[in-house]
Structure 1
Amino acid sequence: MALRVAATAVMAARAAPRGMMRLFSTTSPNSFMPPPIAAMGNGEGTPGREQAPPSTNLFVSGLNKRTPSEKLREAFSQFGQVVDARVVTDRVTGYSKGFGFVRYASIEEAEKGRVGMDGKFLDGWVIFAEYARPRPERPPPQNMTNSNGYNSYARE
């Protein structure tokens, strides 16, 4: 009986290519090791992404698609006076894009709200709160003319 088991193991080893054995082996010294968390970022917020400077405006991501602005305001108001809370929606469909903004009256309240709600559940989803980055400056629109010299939107 032991001879039969040994013979079956030898035949299986010969049948499987070396690459397959290496692929399914869990004892390999070259096993995958994830990088340490500290190497991925600064240890706070999204890994590998630098933090925005403190402000009264918070960016909230990971929202449930059915979370309304009123629910967002209600959840964050326990940490201070919320001036404005809005869930960003698609212009065409009107559905939530899964993120929003909350503006507090002071930076201290915004910090309490960020710490208090980051990584918490809202409507069954884990949300993430961080300071909102300022909107980048956009260059003024150029004259929209086509190759014929006419304005693309209306003839002059």
Structure 2
Amino acid sequence: MAFSGAFRRLLNGSSSIITSPFASARFSSTLTAPKLFISGLNRNTTDEKLKEAFAPFGQLVEAKVIMDRATQRSKGFAFVTYASIEEAEKAREGMNAKFLDGWVIFVDPAKPKEYRPPPQPESQQSSEFGFRTNKTIGWCGN
């Protein structure tokens, strides 16, 4: 019973259990853009449910649950964009460590997407006789 009380205080933010320097950095970072990263989503959460949950904090520009291309299921995180940084800050304070669809979600500032150079194709090596070696393992053909 003591554990559930401590867990409830932790979720409500009224506990001094969080003393890690990383935890304080998470809650004290300031927003530089009106875009938020939401993690810990239930796999059944849809774009519409996300919009309903975040709409009371301001004018939503976009609320998008990220889906897996192959399975068309949620990856468990989303992005929410507001019209202003102030609205995004209110949403972050109001929704961080709250329940959405039965799961505790975490709301953080979104980081800009990092540039990744496209993968380079492997160069095929030629033998001393001019034949290319195939790295396929096993037998194929007739």
Q: RMSD between aligned alpha carbons?
A: 2.5
Structure 2 unaligned segments of length 5 or more: list them. 1-16, 127-131, 133-142
Structure 1 residue 134 displacement after superposition: 1.0
Give the TM-score, by structure 2 length. Answer: 0.68
Q: 1:66 aligns with which of 30, 44, 64?
A: 44
Q: In 2 relative to 1, CA 94–140 (structure 1 residues): closer, same or farther, beyond 3 Å?
A: closer
Whether the 8 Å contact between 1:120 and 1:128 is mirrored in structure 2 is yes
Alignment partner of 1:113 is 2:95 = no
The 1:38/1:88 distance shift into structure 2, 3 A limit, reads: same
Is 1:81–2:59 an aligned residue pair? Answer: yes
* Aligned residue identity for 2:18: I
Higher-RCO chain (CA-CA 8 Å, sequence separation at least 6): 2
Name the CA distance, whole Å, in 2 between partners of 1:119 and 1:57. Answer: 18
Q: What one-letter code is carried by the residue in structure 2 that aligns with 1:136?
A: E
Superposed, 1:1-156 pairs within 5 Å as 37-45=18-26, 51=29, 53-142=31-120, 145-148=123-126
Give the superposition deviation at 1:145: 3.5
Q: TM-score, normalised by structure 1?
A: 0.62
User: Which sections of structure 1, spanning at least 5 residues, go unmatched?
Assistant: 1-35, 151-156
SS in 2 for 1:127: strand
For the Cα contact (< 8 Å) 1:52–1:132, is it kept in 2? Answer: no
Q: Residues 93 and 117 from structure 1, CA distance in 2 versus in 1: closer, same or farther, beyond 3 angstroms?
A: same
Q: Which range moves more in the overlay, 84-93 or 133-142?
A: 133-142
Structure 1 residue 55: deviation in Å?
A: 1.4
2:137 aligns to what? none
Structure 1 residue ranges, 4+ long, deviating more than 6 angstroms after superposition: none
Identity over aligned pairs, percent: 51
